[in-house]
Amino acid sequence: MKKDVEDFVQQILGNVDALVTDSHIVYASGRHGAEYVNKDALYPFTADLQTVCDLMAEPFLKDKVEVVIGPAVEAAILASRVAGRLKTKAVYAEKTADGSSFKIRKTFRKFIAGKRVLVVEDVLTTGNSISKVIEEVRLLAGTVIGVSAIFNRGAVSAEAIGNVPKLSALINLKLNSWDEADCPLCKHAVPINTDVGNGEDFLARQKR
């Protein structure tokens, strides 16, 4: 992704507080850091969301995409809007009952078999969820032509998610993090952000 596009998307996401920087975040892992991807903050702003989805579609305009799919819930919204830009169909994959994988409901399967499929996601962290969606598409005889994401924050590679032909992310973001004991923000008494991440729970545990 070109630097000017990445800067433009960062500005959009910063304006809606979807990208938090220069803060003191407690992640779900318990580690601390200064940045946070607050992906949910983008979805209420439909005009900004459409702009982002149009940019997600851009690298795939010439790839003859026949259907776009995303894992439910949020990426299902992305799939619909990206598909609109590509003038094609959109479906979504749902988590299985035990939460270990993703399945495509029967009513959608006819749109996958034998089709050229673009898989979308908002944030790639480990690539685990998107890999499972890709596996399901291939099991249904769909051809995955690529993956498009807003954020790639885990340096996820195309090889790591099933050797997809093309992986595109609007923002490639490496989030530095530290164990609590080594956190420089704690050492400098920078207040913990309680609006996003696990900061509120962290402070509550500290008071016990």
Chain segment 152-185, per-residue pLDDT in tens = 988 899 999 999 999 999 999 888 889 999 999 9
Look at 192 and 126; give whichever has higher pLDDT: 192
- pLDDT at position 1 over 70: no
Q: What is the pTM (predicted TM-score) of this model? A: 0.87
Closest CA to 9 of 168, 194, 204: 168
Taking only the tens place, the pLDDT of each residue in 11-28 is: 999 899 998 889 999 998
Taking only the tens place, the pLDDT of each residue in 58-116 is: 999 999 999 999 999 899 999 999 999 999 999 999 999 888 889 999 999 999 999 99
pLDDT of residue 21: 87
With a CB cutoff of 8 Å and minimum separation 6, the contacts of 62 are none
- Render the burial of 59-81: b for 16+ CB within 10 Å, e for the rest: bbeeeebbbbbbbeebbbbbbbb
**Domains in the chain, CATH or no CATH each:** 3-174+183-207 (3.40.50.2020)
Distance CA 96, CA 99 (A): 5
